[in-house]
Amino acid sequence: MEYWQDFVAAPPATAAHDTDYPAPLPDGRFLILPLRDYGEVAVAGFIANQAAFSVLHPVCGWMAEAAAPLRAEVVVGLPTLGHVLGGPVAERLGHPNWVAPGYSRKRWYDPELSVPTSSSTAPEARRMWLDPRLLLRLTGRRVLLVDDVISTGSSALAGLALLRRAGVEPVGLCVAMAQGDRWRADWPAGLPVAAAFATPLFRRRPEGWVPDAATRPAGLLSPSLAAGPNAG
């Protein structure tokens, strides 16, 4: 099966899952996502740069709808997959541009505007850099972090640390998918997280992987159940 290419109207009628999971979306459709086995738990995977445009466009619309209450003035898209979403979300929020930190250092970059980072899917340590020429876009503005997924929270926390080095406290984080609740333990109290959709963690049972309802994130900013004007 090729994932992330289309929505389905109805999911398979099963409480357990073997290889994939139908994630419910704000308009009542479902996106079939592959399950990744992490041993004790499994997670549903979403790879934004491999998704069809017909999937990305509604997802970016739902992200923008969820983040709209935060009244952001500029979007910072986290590398790498947050770069796929940062520009479209910023455009839907009515912004003229966005900011893209990266993993490669240019000659004019300042080491003071960099932080170490890793993620659950890319555990090797590396550095995230911010171009000092972009500080004018951030200073004194309401800044929104954008990424593809929040899972353990390590990438997003690195993004927060990088912005703090630039003297910026963001108004929140917006992601396509909130994956379980492992990120909540270290997440700053009171900092909003907006998401287009959310998925639980999965526990191994004799019949297969079973969603753990207790790990579906609650209290997220999310789009309305009916697709809004930004969703298309």
**Could you report the per-residue pLDDT of 33-83, keeping only the tens digit for each?**
999 999 889 999 999 999 999 999 999 999 999 999 999 999 999 999 999
Does residue 13 form part of some domain?
no
Beta carbons of 177 and 23 less than 8 angstroms apart: yes
* Count of structural domains within the chain: 1
Structural domain boundaries enclosing 99: 48-198
Mean pLDDT over 195-207 rounds to 94
3-state secondary structure of 209: strand
Say what the pLDDT of residue 182 is. Answer: 93
pLDDT confidence bin for 14, thresholds 50/70/90:
confident
Higher pLDDT, 232 or 14: 14
Say what the pLDDT of residue 226 is. Answer: 42
CA dist list (Å): 180 to 135, 138, 220: 33, 30, 12
DSSP 54: H
- The rounded distance, in Å, linking the Cα atoms of 79 and 169 is 19
Lowest mean pLDDT among 9-13, 16-20, 35-39: 9-13
Does residue 219 form part of some domain?
no
CB-facing half-sphere around the CA of 200: CA atoms within 13 A: 15
pLDDT confidence bin for 11, thresholds 50/70/90:
confident
Provide the token pair at 218.
């609650």
Does residue 161 form part of some domain?
yes
- The rounded distance, in Å, linking the Cα atoms of 51 and 202 is 23
Decide: residue 36, CB within 10 A, 0-12 exposed, 13-18 middle, 19+ buried: middle
Beta-carbon contacts of 45 under 8 Å, excluding residues fewer than 6 positions away, are: 3, 33, 34, 35, 36
pLDDT digits (tens, 9 = 90+) for 112-128: 999 998 766 666 678 99
> Among the residues of 5-70, which ranges form H helices?
53-67
Does residue 4 form part of some domain?
no
pLDDT digits (tens, 9 = 90+) for 135-190: 999 999 999 999 999 999 999 999 999 999 999 999 999 999 999 999 999 999 99
Does residue 132 form part of some domain?
yes
Does residue 98 form part of some domain?
yes
Does residue 70 form part of some domain?
yes
Does residue 3 form part of some domain?
no
Higher pLDDT, 9 or 15: 9
CATH number at residue 166: 3.40.50.2020
Say what the pLDDT of residue 40 is. Answer: 86
Say what the pLDDT of residue 228 is. Answer: 42
Give one DSSP letter per residue of 161-186, joined into a string: HHHHHTT---SEEEEEEEESSGGGGG
